[in-house]
Amino acid sequence: MIDLENEYRKQMDEELVQNLHNELQEHKDRLEDKESQIDELMAEWDEYKTAYAEAQLCSCGSTVESTKPSSKSEKVPDPPLLTDGKEPKFEDWMIEMKGKFVANADCFDNDQMKRVYLVSCTGSLARQQLSVRLQEDATELYISVEQMFKTLTTAFQNPHRCMEADAELQTMYMRPGDKFPEFLAKFLLLASEAGIPDD
């Protein structure tokens, strides 16, 4: 009877040891997976830092020589910081940003450089609009600068701009003392925003 009891305990101890060994191996496997993921994230982070540093060097007009044999374009001034879409106006900022990408294309030889630079030209509310998809745990990261432009356009461009411009045109008239060139400039701007053809 005692032998059976001892045998039973021994068998239970062996099963317990085996279960503990299996759990330990699972934990080791998970730890290796986590370490592998950390290594991948660190490599991505290093790439991001390098791209950001290169974008900053380009935007600051650095004298560091490029590894490319082609000559550098003349530096176009950086767009002002976009914060709330009012000052500077979002539309003006967008024109300057796209112009910068075209005129200094040699500084932005890939889309990641453009995305990093665009983020550096935003702050406050504009940065918040982008940050949702810039977080490492975001479900849908930005893969192109055009996606970022689309987010900002949705947030800051007035969807009723055309109707509002048309309504303002309907009530616009020249008052005594108004200067004609200023009146004409405003009239043409509103007509353009209202979608009225030039002819």
Please compute the mean of the pLDDT values over residues 171-182 and round it to a whole number.
91
Q: Are 142 and 119 in contact (CB under 8 A)?
A: no
C-alpha closest to that of 191 among 172, 178, 177: 172
* Rg over CA atoms, the chain: 30
Distance CA 171, CA 174 (A): 10
Q: Beta-carbon neighbour count of residue 182 at 10 Å? A: 10
Q: What is the DSSP letter of 138?
A: -
Written as one letter, the residue type at 98 is K
Main-chain phi, psi angles of 61, to 5 degrees: 65, 40
User: Tell me: the pLDDT tens digits for 36-84?
Assistant: 888 787 777 777 777 777 776 666 554 444 444 457 888 899 999 999 9
What does the pLDDT read at residue 73?
Answer: 84
DSSP 84-107: SSTTTTHHHHHHHHHHHHHHTGGG
Q: Is the pTM of this model over 0.85?
A: no
What does the pLDDT read at residue 40?
Answer: 81
Q: Beta-carbon neighbour count of residue 192 at 10 Å? A: 12
User: Tell me: the pLDDT tens digits for 134-153?
Assistant: 988 888 999 999 999 999 99
Q: Are 194 and 124 in contact (CB under 8 A)?
A: no
What does the pLDDT read at residue 59?
Answer: 60
Written as one letter, the residue type at 112 is Q
Largest CA distance in the chain: 118
The pair of structure tokens assigned to 37 is: 């993921």
Which helix (H) or strand (E) segment holds residue 69: the answer is none
Written as one letter, the residue type at 109 is D
The pair of structure tokens assigned to 179 is: 């200067």
**pLDDT confidence of 29, banded at 50, 70, 90?**
confident
- Of the two residues 61 and 94, the one the predictor is more confident about is 94
**pLDDT confidence of 24, banded at 50, 70, 90?**
confident
Please compute the mean of the pLDDT values over residues 156-184 and round it to a whole number.
89
Helices 145-156 and 124-131, axial angle in degrees (round to 10): 130
- Of the two residues 97 and 158, the one the predictor is more confident about is 97
